[in-house]
């Protein structure tokens, strides 16, 4: 006899709040779901990779440039402008953005950029677009470490996309639903007593005229 088939797994429910939390801070969505160890591992690993890459680039390799200072760009006859033009000239930020709040200072610096000032109003020079002279000096003094540093930040952002998806789809292995248990109706009634067994050589006596056996 074939063993009974296991019950089907419950349908996957997408967890959008957990995905948002893992975007804001890597691993936070997993902690929210109760997978604390996995969440802390994601948090430590991705932040270590991202900020180590920034340190290699002297903390000046995550930014969005000011599109007003860049040459015009057209794609299939469409002139790019605003943040689309800025990302087109700095595509690395398209991946760095997915590390979450750690890259938001660059967005703030872009939104509040003032060419007449050397620092931004909120974060100073942190993740502020360097001038062309500063950029040349960074690349000259940093050698290949500067370029390798932004590569690390890009990898960290791309890896956090996988962390966000892991939080959205939930754990890979799920427990099957428990089988429904029979309702408890109290103690079962005792079965009626069985008749004593009849020996095989038993011969019944004839009944008396009064209907009784002698």
For residues 92 and 132, the model is more confident at: 92
Q: Are 103 and 96 in contact (CB under 8 A)?
A: yes
The pLDDT tens digits of the residues spanning 95-117 come to 999 999 999 999 999 999 998 89
* Residue where the block lists tokens 């000046």: 60
The domains of the chain are located at 16-169
| pLDDT for position 203 | 62
Mean pLDDT along residues 41-63: 95
| pLDDT for position 180 | 44
Least confident of 82-86, 145-149, 178-182: 178-182
**DSSP state for residue 102 in the 8-state scheme:** G
Cβ atoms within 10 A of the Cβ of 25, count?
A: 19
The pLDDT tens digits of the residues spanning 3-42 come to 666 666 556 689 999 999 999 999 999 999 999 999 999 9
Dig out the tokens for 55 from the structure: 């340190």
Mean pLDDT along residues 34-59: 96
Residue 166 confidence (pLDDT) above 50: yes
Dig out the tokens for 68 from the structure: 């007003």
All residues at 6 or more sequence positions from 135 whose CB lies less than 8 Å from its CB, including other chains: none
Least confident of 14-23, 72-81, 173-182: 173-182
């Amino acid at each position: 006899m074939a063993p009974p088939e296991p019950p089907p797994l419950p349908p996957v429910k997408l967890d959008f709040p957990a995905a948002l939390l893992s975007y804001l801070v890597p691993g936070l969505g997993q902690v929210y779901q109760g997978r604390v160890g996995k969440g802390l591992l994601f948090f430590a690993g991705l932040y270590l990779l991202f900020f180590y890459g920034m340190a290699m680039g002297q903390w000046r390799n995550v930014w969005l440039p000011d599109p007003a200072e860049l040459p015009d760009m057209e794609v299939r006859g469409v002139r790019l402008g605003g943040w689309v033009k800025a990302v087109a000239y700095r595509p690395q930020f398209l991946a760095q953005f997915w590390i979450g709040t750690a890259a938001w200072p660059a967005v703030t610096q872009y939104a509040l950029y003032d060419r007449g000032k050397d620092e931004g109003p909120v974060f100073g020079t942190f993740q502020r677009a360097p001038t062309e002279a500063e950029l040349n000096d960074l690349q000259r003094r940093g050698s290949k470490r500067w370029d390798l540093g932004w590569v690390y930040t890009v990898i960290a952002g791309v890896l956090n996309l996988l962390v966000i998806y892991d939080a959205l789809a939930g754990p890979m292995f799920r427990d099957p639903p428990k089988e429904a248990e029979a309702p408890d109706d109290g103690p079962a009634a005792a079965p009626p007593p069985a008749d004593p067994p009849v020996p095989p050589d038993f011969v019944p006596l004839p009944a008396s005229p009064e209907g009784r056996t002698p």
